[in-house]
Amino acid sequence: MKKIAINKKDQADLLRAKQSIEAGHLGEAGDLLNMLKKKLPTHPDVARLWCSWALRTDRAPEVPAYAKQLFLQADNDIQKAHWAHLLGTTYFYTLDLPRSLEYFGQALAYLSELARSGKAPAPRKKSAAPPSAENVFVSGYAERLLWSTCAMLARQDIPAFPFAGTLLGLEREGKLLDFDKDIDIAVWMSSFDACCATLEAHGWSVVPMHIEYRNYRDFIHNESGITLDVCGLEQRNRHQIIGGFALSGRSDDYQRVTVFPHLELKQRSTQHGNSWYPAHPEKILTAFYGDWRTPNPFWDTVVSALNLEKFTLLVRCYAYHRLVKRWLSGDLIKAWSYACQIALKDPDDVRVLRAGQWLERILMRTGQVIPHWPQNRPQRRVYTRMVADLFHTGHINFLHAAKSLGTHLTVCVVSDQRVLENKGKLPVMNQAERAAAVAACRYVDAVITESPVNATPEFMQQHGFDIYTFACADERERTDKYRQCALLPSAMIRELDYTQGISSTEIVNRILRNAGYDR
């Protein structure tokens, strides 16, 4: 496509139009863009922004013909990929999913061909947030808004409760995730319409969506600008609850169904009043994320959810759209992660498997580290308590064996006072020093410095531990260890071999001998 010059005034108008779209002033943006389109109909920046605006208005039906004109005139792979992606997006939003996937696939083919020639789109510059901008999730404002909203709904007899990423943050971090972008709540479908109407009457406005689902709605808080996602859930049978995205009057391939085990709600007291909360949040999180305690920076709820009933055409279009979008923006690692997610859902998708291979080649060629995609397989979390004084090979052997029992190992390094009570003498290294040594061991995933002496079922369940393990130097220690876990079922208890010939006491004696102080 021949390069078209644009003067400073038109460039300024284009920027104003973009800012107007971002601010939601679509009328003002339309006046500017329609004028620019008439003047510069084939300028790629004008055309792309006009299409972006049109897809948000009643001019959306005009986009395909216009975009195809630009697509046919494009003379390089990046331009062709851009217009193919825009056409795929247009057909996606109008629910012509087969044609949408066709164009997304063409975009992938052009990008793969570009990679074959050793090239990739340059990363786009990220606009920095103003220095004074406050992260409402870090500050706690978003969490206060969550509880005040849930409490307000509860007073209206609408049992709304934290869900998805919001529930994940509350359970894993004890607060909302710092990097979150919205608040997620769920409500039974029997209360869905009442919930939405009540939110609109209490400071929230509906955000128009490209695709209108009957069980999912986006809101924005009028005062703070925080986004709220409302997810409708319904009982499928005695044992299952379903959610996701539901399109009325469409086939199964146009649905996104997520399946959860039966759940009960309980009331939770907050400073804003009583709110509803899942009685067993770990059941929801495990269904959704698998290993929800291990952060996964590449997780995409729409695509990655482990409880997707089927990888439908609708979900595939979401995944392809995001894969191509990230590749075009130069975010190759994120694009690679989407290729991995699609391949996990459909290992026979040759087009995506090849795209993933080309992305890996680009990453290696440019010296970028290819990340590990967490498998989110069912986790087996191991817990133990130890002194770990004068950290030595016996400790290493024990921790290696403990980690081999599962996928995650948590070690409680006991206090100096506990060592004194148990052994009649203080350890050589204090608790902070011993904890630092244990934390440096590659077999250890987490170190804590406080836990009850006795491992109870309640403690194990609270922290998600599946196995309690220990090693015993003698029969007296073995009796103590088994007494401390007497309430646990035998399947949760594993005794490991003790490494003979090495101990903290033996090391102390060795030091004394070497210093000439035989004991």
| pLDDT at site 1 | 52
Q: How many CB atoms lie within 10 A of CB 478?
A: 15
| pLDDT at site 378 | 62
DSSP secondary structure letters along 84-152 = HHHHHHHHHHTT-HHHHHHHHHHHHHHHHHHHHTT--PPPPPPPPPPTT---HHHHSHHHHHHHHHHHH
Say if CB 187 and CB 230 are below 8 A apart.
yes
Least confident of 188-202, 277-291, 356-370: 356-370
User: Is residue 107 pLDDT above 70, yes or no?
Assistant: yes
User: How far is residue 122 CA from its own chain's centroid?
Assistant: 26
Q: What is the band of 518 on the pLDDT scale with cuts at 50, 70, 90?
A: low
User: Is residue 127 pLDDT above 70, yes or no?
Assistant: no
Instruction: Summarize the confidence of residues 96-121 as an average pLDDT.
Output: 93
What letter does residue 373 receive in the DSSP assignment? -
Q: In the chain, which residues fall in CATH 3.40.50.620?
A: 381-511
User: Is residue 374 pLDDT above 80, yes or no?
Assistant: no
| pLDDT at site 5 | 78
User: Is residue 101 pLDDT above 70, yes or no?
Assistant: yes
Q: pLDDT tens, 198-249?
A: 999 999 999 988 899 999 999 999 999 999 999 999 999 888 999 999 999 9
Residues 6 or more apart whose Cβ sits within 8 Å of residue 231: 163, 164, 184, 185, 186, 187, 215, 216, 243
Instruction: Summarize the confidence of residues 397-404 as an average pLDDT.
Output: 91
| Distances 364 to 327, 359, 367, 405, 470 between C-alpha atoms, Å | 15, 9, 5, 34, 43
Work out the mean pLDDT of the chain and round it to a whole number: 91
Instruction: Summarize the confidence of residues 31-52 as an average pLDDT.
Output: 90
- What CATH code would you report for 381-511? 3.40.50.620
User: How far is residue 170 CA from its own chain's centroid?
Assistant: 14
**Distance in angstroms (rounded) separating the CA atoms of residues 430 and 437:** 11
**Distance in angstroms (rounded) separating the CA atoms of residues 205 and 182:** 14
* Residues 281, 283, 289, 291, CA torsion sign: positive
What letter does residue 188 receive in the DSSP assignment? E
DSSP secondary structure letters along 11-26 = HHHHHHHHHHHHTT-H
Instruction: Summarize the confidence of residues 471-478 as an average pLDDT.
Output: 92
User: Is residue 423 pLDDT above 90, yes or no?
Assistant: no
| pLDDT at site 23 | 79
Length of the chain: 519
Q: Does domain 138-295 have CATH number 2.30.30.30?
A: no
Least confident of 25-39, 44-58, 359-373, 468-482: 359-373
Instruction: Summarize the confidence of residues 389-410 as an average pLDDT.
Output: 91
Q: Which amino acid is at 393?
A: T
Q: What angle do CA 478, 484, 490 make, to 5 degrees?
A: 80
Q: How many CB atoms lie within 10 A of CB 358?
A: 21
Q: Which amino acid is at 246?
A: A
**Distance in angstroms (rounded) separating the CA atoms of residues 16 and 329:** 22
The proportion of the chain whose per-residue pLDDT surpasses 70, expressed as a percent, equals 96
**Distance in angstroms (rounded) separating the CA atoms of residues 367 and 178:** 29
**Distance in angstroms (rounded) separating the CA atoms of residues 121 and 391:** 50
User: Is residue 349 pLDDT above 80, yes or no?
Assistant: yes
User: Would strands 493-496 and 467-471 be described as parallel, antiparallel, or unpaired?
Assistant: parallel
CA dihedral 277, 282, 283, 286 (to 10 degrees): 130
User: Is residue 129 pLDDT above 90, yes or no?
Assistant: no
User: Would strands 408-413 and 381-386 be described as parallel, antiparallel, or unpaired?
Assistant: parallel
Q: pLDDT tens, 70-91?
A: 888 888 899 999 999 999 999 9
| pLDDT at site 3 | 64
| pLDDT at site 162 | 97
Say if CB 292 and CB 171 are below 8 A apart.
yes
Residues 6 or more apart whose Cβ sits within 8 Å of residue 3: none
504 phi and psi angles, rounded to 5 deg? -60, -40
User: How far is residue 244 CA from its own chain's centroid?
Assistant: 16
What letter does residue 268 receive in the DSSP assignment? E
**Distance in angstroms (rounded) separating the CA atoms of residues 414 and 386:** 6
Instruction: Summarize the confidence of residues 373-377 as an average pLDDT.
Output: 59
DSSP secondary structure letters along 463-502 = HT--EEEEE-SSHHHHHHHHHHTTTS-GGGEEEE---TT-
**Distance in angstroms (rounded) separating the CA atoms of residues 378 and 382:** 13
* Angle (deg, nearest 10), helices 313-328 and 350-365: 20
Instruction: Summarize the confidence of residues 255-268 as an average pLDDT.
Output: 94
User: Is residue 126 pLDDT above 70, yes or no?
Assistant: no
Range list of H helices, 290-331: 301-304, 313-328
| pLDDT at site 508 | 87
Q: In the chain, which residues fall in CATH 3.30.460.40?
A: 138-295
**Distance in angstroms (rounded) separating the CA atoms of residues 263 and 170:** 17
Q: Which of 492, 493, 466, 465 is closest to 481 using CA atoms?
A: 493
